[in-house]
Amino acid sequence: MDYDVTAAARVSTIGADSLTSKLPTTGLINYLMRDRHGSPFEHSSMTFYVEAPIFVAREWFRHRAGWSYNEESGRYKALEPTFYVPAGDRNLIQEGKPGAYEFRQGSDAHFARMAANMLYSYNEAYEAYEDMLKAGIAREVARMVLPVGIYTSFYATCNARSLMHFLALRTKDEASAFPSFPQREIEMAAEQMEKHFAAAMPLTHAAFQKHGRVAP
Amino acid sequence: MDYDVTAAARVSTIGADSLTSKLPTTGLINYLMRDRHGSPFEHSSMTFYVEAPIFVAREWFRHRAGWSYNEESGRYKALEPTFYVPAGDRNLIQEGKPGAYEFRQGSDAHFARMAANMLYSYNEAYEAYEDMLKAGIAREVARMVLPVGIYTSFYATCNARSLMHFLALRTKDEASAFPSFPQREIEMAAEQMEKHFAAAMPLTHAAFQKHGRVAP
Amino acid sequence: MDYDVTAAARVSTIGADSLTSKLPTTGLINYLMRDRHGSPFEHSSMTFYVEAPIFVAREWFRHRAGWSYNEESGRYKALEPTFYVPAGDRNLIQEGKPGAYEFRQGSDAHFARMAANMLYSYNEAYEAYEDMLKAGIAREVARMVLPVGIYTSFYATCNARSLMHFLALRTKDEASAFPSFPQREIEMAAEQMEKHFAAAMPLTHAAFQKHGRVAP
Amino acid sequence: MDYDVTAAARVSTIGADSLTSKLPTTGLINYLMRDRHGSPFEHSSMTFYVEAPIFVAREWFRHRAGWSYNEESGRYKALEPTFYVPAGDRNLIQEGKPGAYEFRQGSDAHFARMAANMLYSYNEAYEAYEDMLKAGIAREVARMVLPVGIYTSFYATCNARSLMHFLALRTKDEASAFPSFPQREIEMAAEQMEKHFAAAMPLTHAAFQKHGRVAP
């Protein structure tokens, strides 16, 4: 995969000789990343199967360039009763202004109140959904009551460049040259993808990290 | 707007002379549409402000090529309690297989059961949402209980070509050369957009209709 | 590769079960192609290394959606003196109007006159190029005299959907539902790509052929 | 046009109230630019008619996202004998390595040698072209001898975001946060476009300049 980057990059300067298998070099990949020559990173394709709540999928699908999607359909199948509830270490309190929010841990009472509201509300919504399905009402109509906290599943295909754009926006990392304020839940998904990316394309990932996590 | 199509198309054959204002002709636009020369239709840009339920926005945002979006954020603002409930003439019963569903009108009992479930469920969800907000829980967390039937708002910019792709997929029309099975709610939005499109670009719209509603 | 299509398509109706390896079926692929469900065909990525004259590359690079390119640079390297001259069986005579040209074989005299002009002109251009390079003039300036018949090389990455769009426009085939009038030289490249495509994704290719060579 | 940016941006935080005509503010536009919220800049569409040599058009058309093109066709019309020759102040001497070239002024002898080679070569090429056309050889064949220094014409439509991407890569400016090494000829075109852009969207342009000429 790192090899695809350098082969494509080398065609600029050596044409057909780029086809002969010279190993990818850290130097060339760092140069491309630093000077933001992005196109050589587009020849490496990756497909992920993702299970995530709808509110995460909604943010994800805003990424258009270099992304392809196929998602579970609430028109074609009944959705399973799997819902997202934040874990105990999730920051629940939001302070500050748009673009500069600060988040901090809530109290136990905050967590309890959130959990109670979610469990109750998810349950009521799914019962209403099932009742409508049982009565023969179309899935595409019945689903309107389902919350954005319900899980959906999808295939997402991207290339190394579009993945780095995603990671730059959807993670918050000390190494970042530009600030971003992703919702924690999509960041959790991004962190898992980044592990796969780092394993598949170690030189590219290292260069991304080194040069401020700015997509080239 | 129709003029932008023919000016751009004429550059192929007459270069700079395409700049002088010759009126757009039905003949040229029909030729482009019929033989599927799509690029001249990309120079006309339109921006729509849309209010629609989240489940409609979700289908809409799958259109990537030639579309730009900015949407109300459930992280930055509290969402208003405006929800979608199908009107009495909406077909509620779905039969058949994926890709070939038939829909038919439900009974009064179907409608009553749907309406009762929706009103109850929407109400419970919004109360849970408000309770969490009142307790100081972050909007981005509290919103997880909100249903996909709640309204969102967004700006969508497209060009005539990408709009015709949208209309071909999101309307069901006798004049269509290819079948499509849009959910009625996005079709209702598409029908409104089509009226604006037909008013702004009458020759282009007529050619689209004439040639099987296939985007060029 | 055909498997990637059906796995992605099945997520709509069966969610996570799409991951378990059920063989791709002709039936499902034909259904997707016929009803123009294009997105499942976007998860299969292919990279081609291409050597072609600049006038072919120019038409090729007009394909934007789902295509990535890296090309040999006339700024970074001196171009090799490799030029395209049509073979003896190339139709040289063009008749009719834009969009409906007819081509027919020229006489021996036509071929001789074309060949003489090309060989002479290519040679003069390359001599001028070399003379400027020898004098120390920048490659990016000297190259201005090089003809569009000179060869360039590039990596092109696409997916099955974007490749089918390319093939629909850049080949002229009896099975086509829509007419296209590709220049013979890009069609020759498209024919070679189609062989690789048919070998890698036989079910997808057969469905493309069966359903009028219209990209889904 | 600046107004379209802020209206679209405001929908995030105030929904439908974004429609009421509040003036665009420098503060909001600077915030969007600095924190790289790019999508609000996609709702402003601009169409340019361009006359440029083929080697410039070749670099231009590599910009895919947010760009639409229609170009004069060498298959449909005979190309005019208009060619590009660098002016006397063009740096002709290139030194250094790819990605870090330095250019400097050539001597009068350099200029004279370049001009002589170009004029001669352009002339020979166009005579060969005309001779083939006169003999009845198809335009699409005869054009193969034409140099990349010949002029073509095209319509290019972009939005403010894609235009800023173009300007960031195709100009070399002291205010730039990232280095780029555009060929002088495409930079000359970019400079002209930037003037139109600055006139049409003064707040957006000022913010672009202020924040390192990095496209948001």
Of chain B, the percentage scoring pLDDT greater than 70 comes to 99
Higher pLDDT: C18 or A130? It is A130
| Option in A69, A73, A157 nearest C13 (CB) | A73
Identity at B173, one-letter amino acid code: D
Residue in chain D nearest A216 by alpha carbon: D178
Please tell me the predicted confidence (pLDDT) of residue A21: 67
- D190-210 confidence digits (pLDDT tens): 999 999 999 999 999 999 999
What is the structure's pLDDT at C171? 96
How large is the average pLDDT for residues A186-213? 97
Q: Which residues pair with A49 in a beta bridge?
A: A155
Is the CB of C71 less than 8 angstroms away from the CB of A12? yes
pLDDT given for residue A102 in this prediction: 84
**A94-146 confidence digits (pLDDT tens):** 887 766 778 899 999 999 999 999 999 999 999 999 999 999 999 999 999 99
pLDDT band at residue C24 using 50, 70 and 90 as cut-offs = confident
**At residue A163, does pLDDT exceed 90?**
yes
Question: Chain B within 8 Å of C12 (Cβ-Cβ)?
Answer: yes
- What's the pLDDT at D99? 65
Nearest partner of D169 among D213, D216, D201, judged by Cα? D213
- Contacting A residues, span 20-59, partner chain B, CB-CB under 8 Å: 53-55, 58
Among A87-101, B107-121, B150-164, C108-122, where is mean pLDDT lowest? Answer: A87-101
Pick from A11, A42, A70: which is nearest to C39 by CB? A70
**What is the pLDDT at residue B71?**
97
Q: Decide: helix, strand or coil at residue A20.
A: coil
pLDDT band at C99 (very low <50, low <70, confident <90, very high): low
Q: Does D15 touch chain A (CB under 8 A)?
A: no
Three-state SS at A201: coil
Q: What percent of chain A has pLDDT over 70?
A: 99
Taking contacts as CB-CB distances below 8 angstroms, the residues of chain C near D98 are 73, 76
Q: Which of B11-20, B93-102, B137-146 has the highest mean pLDDT?
A: B137-146
What's the confidence (pLDDT) of residue D21?
66
pLDDT digits (tens, 9 = 90+) for B189-209: 999 999 999 999 999 999 999
More reliable by pLDDT, C33 or A98: C33
What is the pLDDT at residue B99? 65
Tell me what the mean pLDDT of segment A25-49 comes to: 94
The active-site residue out of B10, B36, B58, B170 is B170
Interface test with D, best of A10, A30, A31, A36 (most D CBs within 10 A): A36
Residue D45 DSSP SS3: strand
pLDDT at residue C20 greater than cutoff 90: no
State the helix-helix crossing angle for C184-200 and C202-210, rounded to 10 degrees.
130
Cα→Cα distances C52→A182, C34, C164, D75, Å: 44, 33, 20, 18
Q: What is the pLDDT of residues D172-187, one digit of tens each?
A: 988 888 888 899 999 9
Chain D contact present for B162, CB below 8 A: no
Whether the pLDDT of residue C101 is over 80: the answer is no
* DSSP 8-class letter at C153: E
Q: Count Cβ atoms below 10 Å from residue D102 Cβ, excluding itself.
A: 11
Tell me how far the alpha carbon of residue B130 is from its chain's centroid: 30
Least confident of C16-20, D73-77, D185-189, D195-199: C16-20
With a pLDDT cut of 90, the percent of chain A lying above it is 83
Contacts of C192 (CB under 8 A, 6+ apart): none
Locate the chain A residue with the closest alpha carbon to D39. Answer: A62
Mean pLDDT of the residues in chain A: 94
pLDDT at D102: 85
Supply the pLDDT for residue A173. 87
Please say if the pLDDT value at position C64 is more than 70.
yes
Active-site positions of A read 170
CA distance B50 to B163: 14
Digit-coded pLDDT (tens) for D146-158: 999 999 999 999 9
Report chain D's C-alpha Rg in angstroms. Answer: 21
pLDDT single digits (tens) B112-125? 999 999 999 999 99
Q: Which residues of B touch A132 (CB under 8 A)?
A: 113-114, 117
Distance from CA of C136 to the nearest CA of D (A): 6
pLDDT of residue B174: 86
| CB spacing of C146 vs D146 below 8 angstroms | no
pLDDT over 70 (residue D130): yes
Mean pLDDT across chain C:
94
**pLDDT at res. B98:** 66
- Say yes or no to pLDDT of D24 above 90: no
For the segment A39-43, the average pLDDT, to the nearest whole number, is 97
Contact check, Cβ <8 Å, B98/C179: no
* Chain A interface includes B131 (CB < 8 A): yes
Contact residues, chain A, for B134 at CB < 8 Å: none
Q: What is the mean pLDDT of chain B?
A: 94
Which pLDDT band holds residue C98 (cuts at 50, 70, 90)?
low
Contact criterion met (CB below 8 Å) for D55 and D148: yes
- Region A64-79: what's the mean pLDDT? 95
**pLDDT of D86-107, one tens digit each?**
999 999 998 877 667 788 999 9
What number of CA atoms fall less than 13 Å from residue D127's CA on the CB side? 11
pLDDT at B48: 97
Average pLDDT over residues A46-74: 97
Which pLDDT value is given to residue B116? 98
Give this prediction's pTM.
0.95
The ipTM is 0.94
Closest partner CB to A35 (pick from D13, D62, D179):
D179
Q: How far is D132 from chain A (nearest CA, A)?
A: 31
Any idea what DSSP says for residue C75?
T
Q: What is the mean pLDDT of residues D18-43?
A: 90
Return the higher-pLDDT residue of D215 and C21.
D215
Give percent of chain C with pLDDT exceeding 90. 82
> Minimal CA–CA distance to D135: which of C112, A16, A11, A7?
C112
The fraction of chain C above a pLDDT of 70, given in percent, is: 99
Of D36, D62, D98, the CB nearest to A13: D98
* Residue C133 contacts D where some CB pair is shorter than 8 Å: no
Chain D contact for C84 (CB, 8 A cutoff): yes
